[in-house]
Amino acid sequence: MPTLPKRISTALINALAAGVVPRIGLDHIAVARETEMKAIRQDLENIGEGGAAFRFIVGRYGAGKSFLLQLIRNLAMEQGFVVADADLSSELRLAGSKKQAVATYRELMKNMATRTSPQGGAIALILEKWTSSILSQVAQTTGKRPGDEDFNQQVELKIREVVDHLEGLVHGFDFANVIITYWRGYREDNNEKKEAALRWLRGEFNTKTEVKQALDVRVMIDDDTWYDYIKLWAKFAADIGYKGLILFLDEAVHLYKISHRRSRQSNYDRLLAMFNDTMQGKADSLGVVVCGTPKFIEDQRRGLQSDEAWRTRLAKSRFLTEDLQDNTAPVIKLNPLTPTELFQLLQRLAQVHATHYRYKMQLQDEQIQDFQDIASNRLGAEKMTTPREMIRDFLTILNILHQNPQVSFEDLVHRQGKPSASMNGKSRGEFAEFTL
């Protein structure tokens, strides 16, 4: 196994044991999904050349949707994209009248990340880096330095060359003005002006009066307009040297769970607008990846396919079969990992665990296979067991074996289903006469 820093092994073990997907180190345990990743790489190539893409990643709970999403996120950052992600919920939606949609925008902005700022909060860094690069370009082309006559005017002209491209888009004029305001705050070393621009870009103003007082702008980002600004961010990111913007929306099943029919339909309509923009070429340098369960897509009563517009767009070709998938279609359905792939995953987890706790791995391939067989042969396991559940069980076993050297793997694994010690002897005697 490649060198595994403690920071990464800690994140892997803690996250997986808790049943959540780690943000880092996924390449150390990733198996399979080559076909899906090949399709995503093609999407990234198209987006990097100015196109757009939209993908649904569909699978039941614990099937690996969020894991694949994080793999894509990390790959996109490595390739030079700006990424932003949010987990949808009852408070974070795509449309709403109580700031649920702008709350999603704010979450996306909070989690905006790049290769040099992978943990999020990258907006200020993006603008600082871009502004610094403009200063360097002007210095090189004019031979002047900050403080020289006309230097700042030359910088502002250069900045306007970029933001002028945005003015043809919806709300592009105001977006461009706020970028210019940020530059002027940078030039004047005025932190208040810079922070006001950042607050506006993050969608943090609540009233237009606040905006007018802080900036020379008459509009603000709200529930109705937030997606227009996502398209502006994608265009802006591409214009300043990134490859584009990739948006990740996980837990889309929460849209399916909206009980009010009209509200649910409003969210589906907003998602449809995003889908249409990317598919029809109305958005530049933008990718959207949405993760959901099969019900979210397929339920004819409340899912996307309850809507005629969505049903026609997501209809499967009659030439597709269960074992054949068209990976250029908008929906990528995650098939269960094969037994061989699951075995490889468990092997890698055992190696990570041994590396993290600095012991020589004693577990043999036969024992790993034994655990997998037991987990897979439980009643109903073929339908109910997911990689998430198997990973958590396996890590529990590794922890117990590491902490209790006197316990053997065979005793631990094969005693499942046997009466516990508390049910033997005296404690069991209390119930000896009890029958059903």
Helix, strand, or coil here: 53?
Answer: strand
∠ CA(211), CA(217), CA(223), 5° rounding?
A: 65
Distance, CA of 114 to CA of 202 (rounded, Å): 16
CB–CB of 171/150 below 8 Å? no
Strands 286-292 and 52-58: parallel
Between CA 431 and CA 416 the distance in angstroms is 21
Q: How far apart are CA 114 and CA 159, in angstroms?
A: 21
Burial of 421 (0-12, 13-18, 19+ CB in 10 A): exposed
Which letter does DSSP use for residue 221 in this model?
A: -
* Alpha-carbon gap, residue 165 to 232, rounded angstroms: 10
pLDDT given for residue 312 in this prediction: 93
- The predicted model scores a pTM of 0.88
Contact between residue 117 and residue 82 where contact means Cβ atoms under 8 Å apart: no
CB 90 within 8 A of CB 98: no
Contact (Cβ atoms closer than 8 angstroms) between residue 279 and residue 55:
no
First to last CA, the chain: 53
Produce one character per residue of 147-177: b if its CB has 16 or more CB atoms within 10 Å, e if not.
eeeebbebbbebbeebbebbeebebbebbbb
Kindly calculate the radius of gyration of the chain based on its CA atoms and give it in whole angstroms: 26
Q: Among residues 329, 264, 340, 335, which one has the least CA distance to residue 296? A: 264
- Tell me what pLDDT residue 327 has: 74
Nearest of 126, 28, 51 to residue 277 by alpha carbon: 51
How do the pLDDT tens digits run along the chain, 436 residues long?
557 899 999 999 999 999 888 988 998 999 888 889 999 999 999 999 999 999 999 998 878 898 999 999 999 999 999 999 999 999 999 998 889 999 999 999 999 999 999 999 999 999 999 999 999 999 988 888 887 878 888 998 989 888 888 988 999 999 999 999 999 999 899 999 999 999 999 999 999 999 999 998 889 999 999 999 999 999 999 999 999 999 999 999 999 999 999 999 999 999 999 999 999 999 999 999 999 999 999 999 999 999 999 999 998 777 766 666 677 889 998 888 888 999 999 999 999 999 999 999 889 999 999 999 888 876 455 555 578 888 999 999 999 999 999 999 988 888 754 444 433 444 444 434 434 3
The per-residue pLDDT for 385 is 59
Instruction: Supply the pLDDT for residue 1.
Output: 52
Q: What is the pLDDT of residue 433?
A: 44
> Residue 105 contacts by C-beta under 8 Å, 6 or more apart in sequence?
203, 221, 226, 229, 230
